[in-house]
Amino acid sequence: MSYSIHIISDITRWQENAFKDRKLRIHPVPKKDEIISSWIVRLAISNELTPYAFMSLHLKEFYYLLRQDFDSADKPELFKKLSFKTGLPVNFIKNLSLISYDGKIFITDYKTNKRPFLLYPTNRGGYNKSASIRYCPFCLEENEYLKKEWRFVFTTTCPIHKVFLLDRCPVCSKPLSIFVWKNRKTTHFHCPFCSFEYRNTQEYASKVPKDSKTIYYQRKLFEIIENKEFTFDSKSYFSVLFFPGLRKVVSLILQGNQKYALFVKERNILNVSVLSKTTTKSLHSLSVKENALLFTVAMDVLNSKENFDRFIRDNKISYHKLTIDRKSYIPFWYERLIDDYKTGRYVSTEEAKNAIAYLKKKGTKPNMASLSKLFGVVLDGRKRKDIKMLLF
């Protein structure tokens, strides 16, 4: 008995060594926006191996990554090895990994290794237990591979096909475990539990209603990432500085600050039940549609200073609540933005406009001093250029 086990392990060791430094004769070229795990699966299948067997034979030293988040692993040796195996440039392969977003969406915190907004798989017994892999049924039908952008919590729709992304098997509701290849008869991505092929999901797709602003803001978000910059209050900044602000607004909405016209409108359009005030759920455990509502509204709040003002005023959010946790990076643009709310009540441009008209009607000369008196706060002309403009 022990003899036969010995032979098997010897054979395995022989196989491993035989494949370890052998180049792949067949390899599909990755798509530009493909995620590395999707490419690994396609490499494995086109070489007649299951993904686990492929990793064990060709990339043994990185096998352990299958139990972690393969896509956000920062392993230069892995990229080099794949480059050797396929003859593709290292940088091209590195670009398939989620770490290619470092400096665009997040700055990796190497102490915690956490990257905000990323959906993380949870591996238990080889299976992924969290709905961390989203997909567009129509994109998958046209071209069978998984996209990098689908791994972010704010990617809730496909702007090309105008549908909500799916994050589970539509038949058995299990999250996707793409490395587990149970049905050897197919070369298509499928559910390891019920064998359903995800490329046949179109009938389960749900259209984004035409009057929703979800697609508009999804595009805008992609543009910020693509262009690596965003504009706020007519100034441009690096995209990576946008995301801490977005995160803050999203958490304010989740905490119950939901008095905002677009929130009410979108909640009805998207048919999302009220996001509870006491919710302790993280973004990751919310449904795709709930995330769509949150990010659409948050993007609208950050679309202009006027929108931000209205959101703060209508929800009576204090300066203290606006500040970002000191442990994380605070972008200057956001700090400047909330600076206006530091002392007492904030007077919006609209309020100032009405007040000027009121003072004129009463026969009082409108200026910074009379306005300050009317509102009971000190209005600083150097900081409130918007009000000074109205006084000319």
Q: Considering only residues 138, 204, 319, 346, which one is a binding residue for Zn ion as defined by CB under 5 A? A: 138
Nearer to Zn ion, 169 or 250 (CB): 169
Nearer to Zn ion, 127 or 193 (CB): 193
Strands 157-158 and 163-164: antiparallel
Spell out a b/e string for 55-74, using b for 16 or more CB atoms within 10 Å of the CB, else e. bbbbbeebeebbeebbbbbe
Least distance from Zn ion to the Cβ atom of residue 125, Å: 17
Burial of 281 (0-12, 13-18, 19+ CB in 10 A): exposed
Q: Is 66 in the site for Zn ion (CB under 5 A)?
A: no
Least distance from Zn ion to the Cβ atom of residue 160, Å: 5
Q: Considering only residues 42, 134, 151, 161, which one is a binding residue for Zn ion as defined by CB under 5 A? A: 161
User: Do 218 and 157 meet the contact criterion of CB atoms below 8 Å apart?
Assistant: yes
Least distance from Zn ion to the Cβ atom of residue 146, Å: 12
Distance of alpha carbon 109 from alpha carbon 100, whole angstroms = 15
Q: How far is CA 323 from CA 14, 20, 109, 296, 329, in A?
A: 59, 52, 20, 22, 11
How many residues of this chain bind Zn ion (CB under 5 A)?
13
Distance of alpha carbon 46 from alpha carbon 28, whole angstroms = 7
| Residue with tokens 């036969």, as numbered in its chain | 4
Nearer to Zn ion, 140 or 250 (CB): 140
Q: Is 158 in the site for Zn ion (CB under 5 A)?
A: yes
DSSP state of 61: G
Other CB atoms within 10 A of residue 1 CB: 5
DSSP state of 380: P
Q: Is 139 in the site for Zn ion (CB under 5 A)?
A: yes
Binding span for Zn ion by CB under 5 A among 72-80, 190-198, 203-211, 277-285:
190-198
Q: Is 160 in the site for Zn ion (CB under 5 A)?
A: yes
Q: Is 253 in the site for Zn ion (CB under 5 A)?
A: no
Q: Is 169 in the site for Zn ion (CB under 5 A)?
A: yes
Nearer to Zn ion, 94 or 161 (CB): 161
Binding span for Zn ion by CB under 5 A among 170-178, 180-188, 294-302, 357-365:
170-178
Q: Is 317 in the site for Zn ion (CB under 5 A)?
A: no
Binding positions for Zn ion, rule: CB under 5 A: 136, 138-139, 158, 160-161, 169, 171-172, 191, 193-194, 196
